[in-house]
Amino acid sequence: MPSMAGSHRPASFGKTLPERGLLLLMVLVFLEGSVLPLGAASSPDVRHQAKLDNSSSPHAGHNLTKKPFPVLSLDYHHIQTPFEISLWVLLASLMKLGFHLIPRLSSIVPESCLLIVVGLLVGGLIRLAGEKVPPVLDSRLFFLCLLPPIILDAGYFLPIRPFMENLGTILMFAVVGTLWNAFFIGGLLYAVCQIQPTNPSNLHQLELLPCLLFGSIISAVDPVAVLAVFEEIHINELLHILVFGESLLNDAVTVVLYHLFEEYAGVGTVTVMDGFLGIISFLVVAVGGVLVGAIYGILAAFTSRFTSHTRVIEPLFVFVYSYMAYLSAEMFHLSGIMALIACGAVMRPYVEANISHKSHTTIKYFLKMWSSVSETLIFIFLGVATVDGPHSWNWTFVTVTVILCLVARVIGVVGLTYVINKFRIVKLTTKDQFIIAYGGLRGAIAFSLGFLLKREHFPMREMFLTAIITVIFFTVFVQGMTIKPLVELLAVKKKQEAKRTINEEIHTQFLDHLLTGIEDICGHYGHHHWKDKLNRFNKKYVKKCLIAGERSKEPQLIAFYHKMEMKQAIELVESGGGVKLPSAVPSTVSMQNIQPKKPPPAKPVERALPQLPKGREEEIRKILRSNLQKTRQRLRSYNRHTLVADPYEDGFGDLLIKKQKMIELEKKIKDMSNYLTVPAAPPDSPTMCRARLASGRETDFKPAQQQKGNTVCPDPQAYSTKPVSDSVPTIQVDLASPQSPDSVNLMDEFRQAGQQQQQEEEQGLMMKPPSGQSGPNKPGEADGSREQQKLMRCLSDPGPSADEDEDEPFLP
Amino acid sequence: MGSSSSSMNDVPNGQQLMQETGFSAATILRLYERFDFLDKDKSGQLRPQDFGELRELALNPIGDRIIGSFFSPGQEAVDFTSFVRILAHFRPSETNRTQKEPANSSTRKLKFAFQLYDQDRDGKISRAELLQVLRAMLGMQVTEEQLQSIAERAIQEADLDKDDAISFDEFRKSLEKVNIDHKMSIRFLR
């Protein structure tokens, strides 16, 4: 047995960690298997009295016979249901843990298969113990508790852009494909059942309608199974969204067909009128579901607008509104899945603009956690329910079903793609078609729907269930296991993991505008035209309503940019500060050390170079730590009702600025060949600058290079420029004091930080051009920014590179 | 459609255009009718004012750039052939190409978009040009500093040869994840 830890001891099982994990799992499984029937077996009236203390002896003379006071007693029934639920959840989670401890296994077999096997084991154990297997895959439990988290997770994080772009294709597959599957399978099954002249079995009793019903149950591609399998194969976005989208949207079709055939299976006939009503019902179910979801989504977005003071319960709103959308849709027999998807997709952009960073993380993690546990439980329960039965195996029926499912799927996909490709810009290739066909997995939804059938109407119920389970097993095991090697074999394009860059964002928006313009010129009201209109409507009306405060006016690009900066700032903090700094940064950056005269280049470099990373790092660490410390201190009080108003987010504001400055500073200094005559902060300068600004004069500083021929500065109060030699560019730094009334937004942030040290640091760091000086600016401070422009003019950084001048034209 | 339906014979250089651009006859006809509609003074040529009449285009942040792209530098008017040639860039591409480098290949599409950025035609998108585009797209909603930061970051990200500007190849590289054939195609122009 190959041992992972590298020990060369020959073949002693259980010595390495993963093997130990496996052993532990087995033991746990056995335990679970034994406790559950034990729980079922305990009768409510048993109370064990263990007398550890024999002190209290019964007093004579009481009317009631007084039993000794029970010091320790066992009352399982009291907590039975929650206990069993917790046990199941624990089992599911431990299984999930275990599979990832054993890497070999999880790379060959997809998780879903392993979980079904575990379920089979547990079911088998319970059976062996002689107890009745609990009806775990009860349809109500499944549809009301296990399914919603998975769908909500999928809907909330649905990538909207590819989904919308391929909506036509997805709908075609979902609606037409499922209809085709249902009728093909149902019809052919009926035909096959009828032709059995030699062996008249009970199959002959099967009517057309139950067959069609069976066909509609078995034809729907299952989102849970698709998610479970496709998540592991990392296929490219297009195929993923096609198969996944289809599995979500075919719920409406399934619901309608199921109800239609179930209604009339008893009666025996379906007329054309019923068919027509069925079509209308389909539209109602689908559109109604989406509407219900959208309404709840808007409500959730609106509620989140006001949650700035109660951040703690923000995630709750997301969950509760979504669940209520699902339940409301189910109440009217509309498509709950579509409601949930619509709710999640509608509410997401607005909620995310409103809620705090922490709440966002909470929502993400809760959704992932719940959906993960749900999925695990579903597969385990599938295994258990298989053992439970009741089964009625019929070779013909089952094998024909399996074959028909495959055939129907392939024909359906090929046929539909032929039609769809006429309308698509990017055609679907044969490889794509194969993957789509192969990815049509069936899962627990089919089983639960089958389980719901009433025996009185459907005497064939057991046979149906057996067939459904066989198909599920076949698709999950065979197709699930082989899809990964096939994807490799066919060299299907994989998902590109690269992060989205700001360039991509800018250019994509640019192209959107371009295409909209061209469509207008052509006079064609196409895709881009309507998208543009929707965006405009969104920006003008909807965002104002649903997003709190200033962020309603924030364009998408800015929001994206902020997010990126935030992420980078977090990375910077986590990596400990200036590890990435180039080694040429001189220590003039270290604030207080600004020499009055031209320092020999060797010195600062000397000071900087050898320890550069360390010394610089230390400074930066100090800055960051002091900032973070302040924010952490505020977290000391624990109060369930209020979380501190996200100090992390305020702290990040400062971090962003600092990081920004550091990067820019490095750049500038890298460009500069020599170092700077930076006049030490003379007592006058801040005052002068303040005065200058306060007088509102148009300061007209030009970079020193341009001023070479002009020694007279237009502003008489300015420092006279020292006669510059060509080699050493001077930097005229007029340091704005933090008390300047026209302080930049930056200054506001410093005031928040409120430390002298920082102000000095900022002063030292301000020797750079106005580009990008401040990170997240508060927009709308128009006056402040104008003054800010003036301030910018004060700071002239000649720099040897010519493109600094380009910044000038853009200052008003 | 007030005017009588035209046939391919009315269209100047109709057949030749079809060959060159790959448009179908129906599309060429449609475009001719549209050209006619836009050409208010029936001079056979379009001027910038004619484009300016389109309301939606006026609302478009880069509307004037798009209009400008139809006119070669120095020209005041564009005739039907040039009109169609520009629009040929947006035809959906097909898998089997007859020509070596047809007008609607993804490189040509990207080049067209690039030229919209690069107004001075020096082959690079400088920071100034990028800032202009950003300002046009984001308008009054953001401050100058934010624009500068974004432009700075964009150039940092894309600029591989460190010349502080984005060349065509760098432009193409930053859009490698986007399916240009899909994104820059209009189904109408088949």
Could you give the CA distance from residue A708 to residue A247 in angstroms, rounded to a whole number?
71
Lowest mean pLDDT among A141-145, A561-565, A709-713, B55-59: A709-713
How far B149 CA lies from chain A's nearest CA (Å)?
Answer: 4
Tens of pLDDT, residues A254-298: 888 888 888 777 676 777 888 888 889 889 999 999 999 999 999
Per-residue pLDDT at A328: 94
State the CB neighbour count (10 A cutoff) for residue A667.
17
H helix or E strand, kind and range, residue A659: helix A647-671
- Per-run averaged pLDDT (10 residues), chain B, 190 residues: 57 77 82 83 81 80 82 80 83 64 76 84 84 82 82 83 83 81 78
Could you give the CA distance from residue A35 to residue A43 in angstroms, rounded to a whole number?
14
Among partner residues B138, B142, B149, which is closest to A772 by beta-carbon distance?
Answer: B149
Instruction: Read off the pTM.
Output: 0.68
Among partner residues A423, A514, A803, which is closest to B66 by beta-carbon distance?
Answer: A514
Of A162 and A635, which is predicted with more confidence?
A: A162
Per-residue pLDDT at A807: 36
Residue B140 corresponds to which tokens in the numbers above? 């009054």
Q: Helix count (H) and strand count (E) of chain A?
A: 32, 0
Among partner residues A513, A526, A810, which is closest to B61 by beta-carbon distance?
Answer: A513
CB contact under 8 A, B184 and A515: yes
| Vertex A796 angle, CA A800 and A752, to 5° | 125
Nearest CA in chain A to B128: A806
Say yes or no: A588 contacts chain B, CB-CB below 8 A.
no
- Residues from chain B that touch A536, judged by Cβ atoms under 8 A, are 59
CB contact under 8 A, B150 and A557: yes
Task: Name residues whose C-beta falls within 8 Å of residue A378's C-beta, 6 or more positions apart in sequence.
Answer: A137, A142, A146, A147, A150, A224, A443, A444
Lowest mean pLDDT among A189-203, A235-249, A758-772: A758-772
Could you give the CA distance from residue A657 to residue A752 in angstroms, rounded to a whole number?
13
3-class secondary-structure state, position B126: strand
- Residues from chain A that touch B80, judged by Cβ atoms under 8 A, are none
A308 phi-psi bin (left φ>0, alpha ψ -120 to 50, beta other): alpha
The length of chain B, given as a count of residues: 190
CB contact under 8 A, B146 and A508: no
A417-426 long-range contacts, CB within 8 A, separation 24+: A419/A172, A420/A168, A420/A169, A420/A172, A423/A168, A423/B187, A424/A169, A425/B92, A425/B181, A425/B182, A425/B185, A425/B187, A426/A238, A426/B179, A426/B181, A426/B182
CB contact under 8 A, B56 and A165: no
Say yes or no: B111 contacts chain A, CB-CB below 8 A.
no
Say yes or no: A534 contacts chain B, CB-CB below 8 A.
no
Tens of pLDDT, residues A511-542: 888 888 888 888 777 777 888 888 888 888 88
Could you give the CA distance from residue A286 to residue A174 in angstroms, rounded to a whole number?
12
Q: Is residue A469 a contact partner of residue A451, using CB atoms and an 8 Å limit?
A: no
| Vertex A515 angle, CA B44 and B30, to 5° | 40
Selected for mutation to probe chain B from A497, A507, A786 (highest B CB count within 10 Å) is A507
Tens of pLDDT, residues A547-556: 777 666 677 7
Helices within A42-110 (DSSP H only): 80-101, 103-108
Tens of pLDDT, residues B99-132: 566 666 788 888 888 888 888 888 888 888 888 8
Could you give the CA distance from residue A144 to residue A786 in angstroms, rounded to a whole number?
58
State the CB neighbour count (10 A cutoff) for residue A560.
18
Of A617 and A251, which is predicted with more confidence?
A: A251
Say yes or no: B54 contacts chain A, CB-CB below 8 A.
yes
Say yes or no: B31 contacts chain A, CB-CB below 8 A.
yes
Average pLDDT over residues A126-132: 80
CB contact under 8 A, A516 and B187: no
For residue A173, what are the CA distances in angstroms to A83, A248, A348?
A: 43, 11, 26
Per-residue pLDDT at A170: 93
| Vertex B81 angle, CA B79 and B85, to 5° | 120
Say yes or no: A506 contacts chain B, CB-CB below 8 A.
yes
- Residues from chain B that touch A522, judged by Cβ atoms under 8 A, are 31, 34, 87, 186, 188-189
| Residue A390 preceded by cis peptide, ω within 30 | yes
Interface of A with B in 362-381 (CB under 8 A): none
